[in-house]
Amino acid sequence: MGLLSLSIWTPIVFGVLLLAFGRDNCARGVRWVALIGSLLGLAVTIPLITGFDTSSAQMQFVEKVLWIERFNIHYHLGLDGLSFWFVPLTAFITVIVVLASWESITERVNQYMGAFLVLSGLMIGVFAALDGLLFYVFFEATLIPMYLIIGIWGGPNKIYAAFKFFLYTLMGSLLTLVAIIYLYNVSGGSFDIQAWHKLPLGSLPQTLVFFAFFAAFAVKVPMFPVHTWLPDVHVEAPTGGSAVLAAIMLKLGAYGFLRFSLPIAPDASREWAWLMIALSLIAVVYVGMVALVQKDMKKLVAYSSVAHMGFVTLGFFIFNDLGVSGGIVQMIAHGFVSGAMFLCIGVLYDRVHSRDIAAYGGVVNTMPKFAAFALLFAMANCGLPATAGFVGEWMVILGAVKFNFWVGLLAATALIFGAAYTLWMYKRVYLGPVGNDHVKELQDINCREFLILAILAVAVLYMGLYPKPFTDVMDPSVAQLLQHVAQSKLP
């Protein structure tokens, strides 16, 4: 068993143990076991970080074992610069979510923690899978724990939100399964994703494959106009569920474009790039304007996520190194910033039990330490220089201007809208006189909450001030991908 297998199965084993043996009458022990499991899962990724060769575009830490001989299905794992950072990011966010849910979850604690640990391993499996069917199994399996997290521990309309989440994502993925089976037959009975990259597909097959993958990945990102499930799910999901959904699960769709759509159907990707760019710009501009009128904090940040992920897909389909690298950097940065934003909303919700902006006002007077952290994350969400939120957006805007000035100009409006809706929310919630008796009685964050927010603050500032370690890893793989896409594969 290699390092990647350990990264996948360590949290899953701990999660299954919690589901099997955990009980509510020993909730404290369950929480500690969950924390140990998540920390071990994170520790296993450290040798991946120290051992990764940043000068190579080849797959590293490869594991390949025959799984189902009859259909030539392999347990095939590996990482390159496109997928590498999402493995430690997933393990890191899992630790944060376990800590954040320490006191807020009091019922079925073992099932809640177990579901998150299993989900963590499955998501790492998606980023590491190099076998098409293995990827699909991991990709679909992530729906189950998230469906349960929303449906059991969510808000008043949790059942509706859970069904909407499950049906949207499952329906899109069925076409992807058809595409995977088609590629299996065309390649002579191989599920090897890297072998699929070399298939000389015709124009029509490439277009059909491209849109089959688009059906799943666009819903998962989510792109306009299939984004409507996300605000409902975020509003109803518990804080930990919202943090993981925004920080990691949305990235599964964007990663799918990099691993499948662009390299397998490069001509179709170039042909339909105008559509992807148009949908991305609509997400950036229109959804940013929709965020301005939201009264619910979670819904506002949910629409903000759609706008920020629009930057990611825009970067991928302008086909230059700044755009693609910027899109990947934006994915990582959004993982830190959006996770932090939802955890801040959770801190307030645990105390006041309301997500309405109107229910607050003057929080800085009673929670000064917390308000300082919230301001940092709000600024990062706006794309303030020296924060993680700035780096990816700036790279994508530069790449977009290089591609087409007007596309770059429209993309840059996101910085204006982002500042408008984020700072307006901050002003109404945190600044001014104390809004009501609930705010007057608020207690500032405790040591556990301070630790969580401080760790995220360090991550946001470190990535904003020194993004080189992140970009160095991805540069060779991005260059190889762009070279591959630029070379026509039409027979």
308: region left, alpha or beta (phi > 0 left; psi from -120 to 50 alpha): alpha
Rounded CA-CA distance 15/145 in Å is: 11
pLDDT recorded at residue 489: 59
- Is residue 408 within 8 A of residue 401, CB to CB? The reply is yes
Cα 98 from chain centre:
17
**Taken in order 419, 422, 424, 427, is the CA torsion positive or negative?**
negative
* pLDDT computed for residue 233 by the predictor: 87
Give the confidence band of 126 by pLDDT, cuts at 50, 70, 90.
very high
Per-residue pLDDT, 138: 92
As a residue count, the chain comes to: 491
147: left (phi over 0), alpha (psi -120 to 50) or beta: alpha
pLDDT (tens digit, 9 = 90+) per residue, 239-279?
888 888 888 888 898 999 998 888 988 888 888 888 999 99
The pLDDT confidence band at residue 491, using thresholds 50, 70 and 90, is low
Q: Work out the pLDDT band at 8, boundaries 50, 70, 90.
A: very high
**φ and ψ of 64, to 5 deg:** -145, 115
Taking Cα atoms as reference points, which of 299, 331, 332, 335 lies closest to residue 421? 299
Q: How many other CB atoms are found less than 10 A from the CB of residue 35?
A: 16
Pairwise CA distance, residues 69 & 124, whole Å:
24
> Average pLDDT, stretch 438-449?
84
Mean pLDDT value of segment 147-163: 86
Please name the residue that has the structure tokens 């940092």.
376
Q: What pLDDT sits at residue 490?
A: 61
Is the CB of residue 114 less than 8 Å from the CB of residue 201?
A: no
Mean pLDDT computed over 383-388? 88
86 Cβ contact list (under 8 Å, min separation 6): 124, 127, 248, 251, 255, 331, 332
The per-residue pLDDT for 20 is 84
Q: How many CB atoms lie within 10 A of CB 19?
A: 15
The tokens describing 148, both together, are 């349960």
DSSP letter at 34?
A: H
The residues spanned by each domain of the chain are 272-491
Query: pLDDT by residue (tens digit) across 49-62?
Result: 888 888 888 888 88
Structure-token match 């029509």, residue found? 204
Under DSSP, is residue 399 helix (H, G, I), strand (E, B) or coil? Answer: helix
- What's the confidence (pLDDT) of residue 192? 87
C-alpha separations of 478 from 15, 128, 240, 262, 414 in Å: 35, 17, 32, 11, 25
Percent helix, strand, coil in the chain, to 5, is 75, 5, 20
Computed from CA positions of residues 162, 165, 167, 169, in that sequence, does the dihedral angle turn out positive or negative?
negative
In the predicted structure, residue 356 carries a pLDDT above the cut 80: yes
Measure CA of the first residue to CA of the last residue in the chain; give whole Å: 40
Instruction: Report how far apart, in Å, the C-alpha atoms of 42 and of each of 128, 340, 405, 419 are.
Output: 15, 18, 42, 33
Q: What is the pTM of this model?
A: 0.91
DSSP letter string, 155-205: -TTHHHHHHHHHHHHHHHHHHHHHHHHHHHHHTTS--BHHHHTT----HHH
**Residue 218: pLDDT over 60:** yes
174-216, pLDDT tens digit by residue? 888 999 999 988 888 888 888 888 888 888 988 999 999 998 8
Neighbours of 471 (CB within 10 A): 19
Concatenated DSSP letters of 107-159? SSHHHHHHHHHHHHHHHHHHHHB-BHHHHHHHHHHTHHHHHHHHHHHS-TTHH
Q: What's the rounded Cα separation, in Å, for the pair 469 and 344?
A: 27
Query: With pLDDT > 70 as the criterion, what percentage of the chain qualifies?
Result: 98
Confidence class of residue 42 from pLDDT cuts 50, 70 and 90? Answer: very high
Residue 327 tokens, joined:
């899109």
Q: What is the dihedral of CA 165, 170, 172, 173, to 10 degrees?
A: 140
- Kindly state the percentage of the chain with pLDDT values over 90: 23
Average pLDDT, the chain: 88
